Amino acid sequence: MAKEPTPQEIASERLYLEMGLTDHEYDLVKQLLGRLPNYTETGLFSVMWSEHCSYKNSKLLLKRLPTQGKQVLMGPGEGAGIVDIGDGWGIAFKIESHNHPSAVEPFEGSATGVGGILRDVYSMGARPIALLDSLRFGDPKNKRVKYLVANAVAGIAAYGNAAGVPTVGGEVYFDDCYTHNPLVNALCVGLVHRDQIRRGIAKGEGSTVLYVGRSTGRDGIEGATFASAELSEGEQPTHAVAIGDPQMGKALMEACLEMMQLPSLIGIQDMGAAGLVSSSSEMANKGGHGIELNLDLVPQREPGMTAYEMMLSESQERMLLVVEKGSEREYEAICEKYGLACAAVGRVTADGMLRLLHHGEVAAEVPVDALTEKAPVYQRTAQVSHVYGLNQAMEVNDLPIADPAATLKQLLSMPSLASKEWIFSQFNADGSTLVGPGMDAAVVKIPGTNKAVALTTDCNSIYIELDPKQGSAIAVCEAARNLICTGAKPLAISDNLNFGSPFNPEVYWQLEQSVEGIALAAKKLDCPVVSGNVSLFNETDGQPIYPTPIIAMVGLIEDASKVMTGKYQHPGDLIVLVGRNWPELGGSHLQKLIWQTPSGRIPTLDLNYEVRAQELVYKAIHTGILHSAHDVAEGGLAVAVLESAFGTGLGVELDFSDGLTVSAALFGESQSRFIVSVDPEQLPVLLKYAQETDVDLKVLGKVTAEDRFRVVYNGQELINCPRSELESAWKEGFACLMR
């Protein structure tokens, strides 16, 4: 085993740069300690001050987000946010990224991403009830991309299925900008009684620090630092990717949920990014205490591990608990039952220090607030994107198309719009899943109640590339529309901000504008941001991904028996557009299909109109006059109308007029729109609601019993073909690329 460099060697040879600290940050460490840090201490600061752990390049911007609301039981700062759903129950949820590991080892990276987000949620005292994912990849025709897709999906499925938590929804988009930097974001949702909410906190001098779960190995060392740096094409730093054990993950979850019923439990936190150092220092800091760890007592699965390796390892399936002294045997008994390691590895102190003992010596001794609260915070330089002004000045009102039916079939076959059944068929469901993947939002029944929660993830990153502020506000509104379509009232947001390097002034401007857009829409919709994650440095050799702020949103359905479907129910029902079409094709999927590269001004967004349109559909659902409701989003009206028909065996006949071109009317992506179906006798009621809310309505046509999709627009027949032909194109568009 190589000898660790001395503090003097670290300073003189600037070895701290290789560990992720800058000259300025290393000088700050020296000031905080009043001396040179040793090798282990330098490692502690390098991971705790990484962007992944400290949010040093995004913290100032995140303060602009709304986090308060009467529905909020727990906001940002813990393992997950929690919102109130009444009757003493709360929903805990959080979305987290595992992008860099998944780019290198897609199966393990994605699997451990699921394992980590499960632990974040059940560390709050919540039983996980559902998983969702949000994925971005390059063109699946690319052999490497196909490999990434197949293995990332397999990893998600392997861990979620083994843990017994159904993956009920999500989204997947494909673009060349993600070829070398795929995005794997995982959302977990759990149920917790208000009296059982737990926190990651260490307090009570002399309390015992317990290590629970899998033994520590050398996998994942410096994973947080790896996730806070740009990738280079061909780089394969597999040492930074942890390896998960789904079966042990399931055992750990059940054991922790059982241990959290013990009154002697003081605090609990996942050993996630930065492993033992983050969990111990963060828990101690939140409790205003210190922690002393004896690393000789840490369960180890590899010989000769150093203090540095043990503290920075990101071995999976591990939790850190703080319990009352004298109660240790209760926890050991539960761990024995589940076949888990349980070791008393330290104690809570009153001195505010993180002290590490190893082989009878003090291996490190640093103030916990220096590792956590005193991490540097940066305001980076923001510069408006050089193409933003050009796009704003470019109105794309028309994209001439020779054959609307052929164009529609091409759109339905685009991997981003086509059916994702190839993916979600690999995920297990359970009896509580009322609505699974494939439509606007998933719906999960709350056990023991008549309530249900609706769940969605959403983000059109093309919009945000062209206009980050408005595009991000649109992402929030579309997520809310997804929930409204099920009959749910939107409650709160967990966001995952995936961007390139903040050192690039244009990227930092995108991040700043995106946060502003999320904040505007979240406030207007009364959906505070209660948890989330920031993933920066998603770029390869200086080429960033499209800015991709994933919006995960949860909503409440008071009566689970009245969940609204997105599918047509009855021949003869009228198909009605709620909202209005505008001549807006900038950033649309039609534009991408024809021009290959998106450009121009994206659809406008009137937040006041958005609120009224959502109120109209919500009221219409809850008064029982609608038979289906579906959001109009990517691909436009024609795609949305057909999506409600797919899988039903029913057909569609549209006959309507508008002042727009064919491309704008059928394939434009104007905002604040829904496609609903209604019995003709109920149309007057719907018209009355529209008048009361000042929202546009247009009867487009009707549901038929024929296998046909027919469109007459402004008196001209544009499309007349079998619905099954279009459905086949939609079903095969992505699946055929994965065979």
Q: What are the residue numbers of the active site? A: 52, 98
Say how far apart CA 371 and CA 351 lie, in whole Å. 15
Phi/psi at 500 (5° precision): -80, -150
Half-sphere exposure of 406 (CA within 13 A, CB side): 5
One DSSP character per residue, 35-84 reads S---HHHHHHHHHHTSHHHH-TTTHHHHTTS----TTEEE-BTBSSEEEE
| Residue type for position 131 | L
Quick one: which H or E segment has residue 164? none
Residue 647's Cβ-count burial label (10 Å; 0-12, 13-18, 19+) is middle
Three-state secondary structure string covering 380-394: CCCCCCCCHHHHHCC
Residues with Cβ < 8 Å from 288, sequence gap 6 or more?
203, 352
Report yes or no: 590 and 660 within 8 Å, Cβ to Cβ. no
Task: Indicate the Cα dihedral angle 141, 145, 151, 156, nearest 10°.
Answer: -100
Beta strand extents in 446-524 (DSSP E only): 452-458, 489-498
Say how far apart CA 318 and CA 312 lie, in whole Å. 13
Indicate the SS3 state at residue 183.
Answer: strand
**133 token code pair:** 């994912």
Report yes or no: 639 and 654 within 8 Å, Cβ to Cβ. no
Beta bridge partners of 367: 353
- Of 475, 485, 487, 489, the closest CA to residue 644 belongs to 485
Report yes or no: 318 and 249 within 8 Å, Cβ to Cβ. no
Say how far apart CA 84 and CA 735 lie, in whole Å. 39
Work out the number of other CB atoms within 10 angstroms of the CB of residue 199: 18
Residue 688's Cβ-count burial label (10 Å; 0-12, 13-18, 19+) is exposed
Say how far apart CA 67 and CA 69 lie, in whole Å. 7
- Of 252, 267, 261, 256, the closest CA to residue 323 belongs to 267
Work out the number of other CB atoms within 10 angstroms of the CB of residue 331: 24
Indicate the SS3 state at residue 398.
Answer: coil
**Buried b vs exposed e over 376-388: b needs ≥16 C-beta within 10 Å?**
eeeebebeebeeb
The residue written with tokens 């109009």 in the block is: 632
**405 token code pair:** 């039916």
At what angle are helices 607-622 and 683-693 packed, to 10 degrees? 150
Q: What are the CA-CA distances from residue 668 to residues 50, 397, 477, 592, 737 (Å)? A: 42, 9, 17, 12, 27
At what angle are helices 39-48 and 23-33 packed, to 10 degrees? 120
At what angle are helices 404-413 and 723-735 packed, to 10 degrees? 30
Sign of CA dihedral 717, 629, 475, 737: negative
